[in-house]
Structure 1
Amino acid sequence: MHPIVKPALRRGWRDLDTVQFGMAPAHAMVLGPMDTATAGFLDLLDGTRGLPLLREQGRGMGLPEERVDELVDRLARSGLLDDATGGGPAADALREKRDVLDRLRPDLASLSLFSRDPGDAIRRLATRRSQRVQVRGAGRVGVVLASLLAGAGVGEVEVRDVGCVEPWDVAPGGLPADSVGERREDAARRATRRAAPDRPPRMSAERKQKERERARGTEPERAPALALVVLAPRDGVAVHAPDPAAAEPLIASGTPHLYAGVVEGTGVVGPLVLPGETACAGCLDQGRADRDPTWPRMVAQWRSGPSQRVPACDLALAAGVAGLAAGHVLAFLDGELPSSAGARWEASIPGFDWHARPVRGHAACPCGAGAKDEGERPSEDAGPHETMAGQQPYAARPSGTWRAHV
């Protein structure tokens, strides 16, 4: 282990023997009381020294070996330390790609803020490179979202859509103006590749052989399983009232999926559906029908009526939806449970006030989430900032500044 105080946290002295790492209350930590030798020892924790050298230099500063080990252990358990050499083989492989890692250093620093174990941040970042995400929809939301995921280090990001790029599909960070008239999938693929720090890792020879043996020479090699699918339709009706039938194959295969898009002047992110665990589009549809008997009639008219040639999709709102959805996808890929699990986050122009609307599992929906949700969550009328029982908060860490005694 080569301990390093997390570089993402700025340091400042509150008084002569109390030091604070971090500015924002969500991740800041206060250490104290701090004697002169201990304060000097913190400067040695820069990732260039292993424990044997730290013990040796600690002795020269008047710190016994036991005190050095105790300090490193306490700082590691408090979440302040990272390991400059940790994370496992995949992390080592990423470190060898210096140009790629330099592109991803801001993301690595961000991951370190909630990854408590030393070396866990780069392990998570390296794990992203082996994951496959599919985005269904190549409009103002979908392509920007896909580019964000690729730029954040997700190894394989596919975009699926039909038709050709229209002028109103163009967006900063998404489809460029010179792609108008091209096939949406082709243009989206190029935009996503441009955003990625490098090409996705290739399938190993051993894995290829296993795939060939499994297929017995009669089937093509299979791609890695989808970690998540994002449904980002260009059609506002499909955003406001997602068709449960469209997600039936995802429910049947147990594939997690997230809804995101813009309907008229409202941006929507969620729900994140974990099949059998959290509410799906069918639960959302049946819950609305229970509260509003006219809902099925309205949805039928919206779906069968003539579509708008150019749907309303505010550019800033679409960018906000893409950014929030990408954040929830990355949190899920990194092993966290984002707040869109069992909820829809919505914001409307011109206020851009994001608020959550809980989506409960419905007992009549065959997805199975209704049985789990029964009695666990408040009604749809709950306030936007109320925590839903049984759901992890988006940032599963205590708010406020931590204090550790050294």
Structure 2
Amino acid sequence: MHPMVKPALRRGWRDLHTMQFGMTPAHALTLGPVDTATGSFLDLLDGTRGLELLREEGRRMDLPDGHVDRLVRRLSRAGLLDDSRGGGPDADALREKREVLDRLRPDLAALTLTTSEPGEALGRLAARGSMRVQVRGAGRVGAVLAALLSGAGVGEVDVRDVGRVEPWDVAPGGLPAEAVGDRRDETARRVARRAAPDRPPPRTVRSPLGEAAPGFGLVVLAPRDDVAVHAPDPSAAEPLLASGTPHLHAGVVEGTGVVGPLVLPGETSCAGCLQEDRTDRDPTWPRLAAQWRSGRQRRVGACELTLATTVASLAAAHALAFLDGGVPSSAGARWEVSAPGLHWHARPVRAHPACPCGAADGGKEEHISADEGSHETMAAHGPSEGSRRKAGTKRPAGTWRAHV
């Protein structure tokens, strides 16, 4: 192990004997009491020295025997330490790709804040390279979302859609203006490949839009049709449920952005549960949904550029949280934001007993979200009443895995 204090957390002295790591309440914690020699020794935890060399440095600084090991253990338990050589073989391979890793360093720094084991962050980042995600829909939301996932290190991002690029599909970070008239899906795939830190070769995936997606760890449904965003057709996701493929809904409808639910087949609520619940609350819902879906007039929906980009970003963040091993708060809920107030709020989507997905019978509807983690404080000689660090929550062993 070559320990290093996580560089993503800024340090500062609260007083002569107490050091604070991190600025924000979500991640900040305090260490104390800290003497001058220990404070100076912390600067040596930069990932360039192994434990034996750190012990020698501690002896030179007249630190008590065992002090270095105790300090390293406490910092590690508090989630403050990373390992500059940890993460396993995939992480070692990523370190060899210096230019790729440099592109991903901000992402790596962010992952260190939500992981606790030294080397775990780089291991997760490297694992993204072997993952496969499919985005269904290449409009202002889907194309940007695909580029974000690819840019964050997901190894393969396939995009499915029909038709050709229209002028109103163009968005910064998404489909470019020069692609108007080109095939929408092929253009979106090129955009995703260009965004990748380590550009993968082109790959053709032949599964039609309505079929299952074998081998994909996650499918994101980001339709351009605003009716499909507001009232997702359960039949469109039936192959995904049948194959056990996790999928996330996202999109914009009439000035409202939607992210969720994240569907873990058989465990969390799905589009069918949403439809059944709406029918329970409003008996006219099936009639309205049928009318909306039967409309064939050509129209351009209300999909304001910054709102679409915001939805794409939040959906990508939820997707990455799942791919990295967590259960984001979109599992069993739809996050919505509407103009002009732009206040995000979550609408629960309960597993419905009338839905054939089975989530109401055997699912685990209550998941711990990544923003409801446990808090922890740490002092040099035990817990203290100081600043608190929020730890990211992992999926329990035996539950959903992102990589199929």
TM over 0.5: yes
Mapped to 2, the partners of 1:182 and 1:313 lie a distance apart of 21
Query: What are the residue-to-residue correspondences of 1:3-152 with 2, within 5 Å?
Result: 3-152=3-152
Can you list the C-alpha shifts for 1:194-243, whole angstroms capped at 9, x where unaligned?
1110124999xxxxxxxxxxxxxxxxxxx981000000000000000000
Q: Is the 8 A contact 1:155 1:201 kept in 2?
A: no
Aligned-partner SS, 1:300: helix
Can you list the C-alpha shifts for 1:96-147, whole angstroms capped at 9, x where unaligned?
0000000000000000001000000000000000000000000000000000
Mapped to 1, the partners of 2:341 and 2:277 lie a distance apart of 27
Paired residue type of 1:14: R
1:324 aligned partner: 314
TM-score by length of 2: 0.89
Q: Is the 8 A contact 1:361 1:372 kept in 2?
A: no
Paired residue type of 1:294: T
Paired residue type of 1:317: L
Paired residue type of 2:73: D
Q: Is the 8 A contact 2:21 2:30 kept in 1?
A: yes
Identity score, percent = 72
Distance 1:33 1:287, change over 3 A: same
Match of 1:404 among 379, 390, 397: 379
Paired residue type of 1:67: H
Aligned-partner SS, 2:66: helix
Mapped to 1, the partners of 2:7 and 2:353 lie a distance apart of 48
Mapped to 2, the partners of 1:299 and 1:9 lie a distance apart of 49
1:155 aligned partner: 155
Q: Which runs of 4+ in 1 moved over 6 A?
A: none
Mapped to 2, the partners of 1:137 and 1:45 lie a distance apart of 46
Paired residue type of 1:319: T
Mapped to 1, the partners of 2:46 and 2:202 lie a distance apart of 33
Can you list the C-alpha shifts for 1:348-371, whole angstroms capped at 9, x where unaligned?
111111000000001011110112
Paired residue type of 2:245: T
Can you list the C-alpha shifts for 1:152-190, whole angstroms capped at 9, x where unaligned?
000000110000000000001100000000000111011
Aligned-partner SS, 2:74: helix
Aligned-partner SS, 1:267: strand
Aligned-partner SS, 2:94: helix
Aligned-partner SS, 1:404: coil
Match of 1:335 among 325, 338, 356: 325
Q: Is the 8 A contact 2:3 2:81 kept in 1?
A: yes
Query: What are the residue-to-residue correspondences of 1:334-353 with 2, within 5 Å?
Result: 334-353=324-343
Mapped to 1, the partners of 2:239 and 2:133 lie a distance apart of 16
Mapped to 2, the partners of 1:94 and 1:201 lie a distance apart of 18
Could you list the runs of 5+ residues in structure 2 that have no partner in the other structure? 204-212, 382-404
Paired residue type of 1:131: M
Q: Is the 8 A contact 1:129 1:201 kept in 2?
A: no
2:185 aligned partner: 185
Aligned-partner SS, 2:369: coil
Mapped to 1, the partners of 2:280 and 2:187 lie a distance apart of 42
Mapped to 1, the partners of 2:371 and 2:350 lie a distance apart of 21
Mapped to 1, the partners of 2:173 and 2:346 lie a distance apart of 26
Q: Is the 8 A contact 2:78 2:378 kept in 1?
A: no
Mapped to 1, the partners of 2:229 and 2:33 lie a distance apart of 54
1:300 aligned partner: 290
Paired residue type of 2:330: S
Could you list the runs of 5+ residues in structure 1 that have no partner in the other structure? 204-222, 378-389
2:371 aligned partner: 395
TM-score by length of 1: 0.89
Paired residue type of 1:157: V
Q: Is the 8 A contact 1:142 1:233 kept in 2?
A: yes
Distance 1:310 1:202, change over 3 A: closer
- Aligned-pair CA distance for 1:403: 3.6
Aligned-partner SS, 1:245: helix
Match of 2:224 among 219, 228, 234: 234
Can you list the C-alpha shifts for 1:256-301, whole angstroms capped at 9, x where unaligned?
0000000111100000000000000001001100110000000000
Q: Is the 8 A contact 1:18 1:32 kept in 2?
A: yes
Mapped to 1, the partners of 2:379 and 2:137 lie a distance apart of 47
Q: Is the 8 A contact 2:71 2:380 kept in 1?
A: no
2:281 aligned partner: 291
Mapped to 2, the partners of 1:146 and 1:81 lie a distance apart of 32
Q: Compare 298-307 and 287-296 and name the one that shifted more.
A: 298-307
Distance 1:170 1:37, change over 3 A: same
Q: Is the 8 A contact 1:26 1:398 kept in 2?
A: no
Mapped to 2, the partners of 1:405 and 1:65 lie a distance apart of 16
- Aligned-pair CA distance for 1:372: 4.5
Mapped to 1, the partners of 2:356 and 2:306 lie a distance apart of 37
Mapped to 2, the partners of 1:360 and 1:307 lie a distance apart of 33
Mapped to 2, the partners of 1:258 and 1:57 lie a distance apart of 51
2:171 aligned partner: 171
Q: Is the 8 A contact 2:265 2:359 kept in 1?
A: yes
The size of the alignment, in residue pairs, is 372
Aligned-partner SS, 2:251: strand
- Aligned-pair CA distance for 1:37: 1.7
Paired residue type of 1:70: R
Q: Is the 8 A contact 1:130 1:201 kept in 2?
A: no
Can you list the C-alpha shifts for 1:300-355, whole angstroms capped at 9, x where unaligned?
00001234421110111101100000000000000010000000000011111100
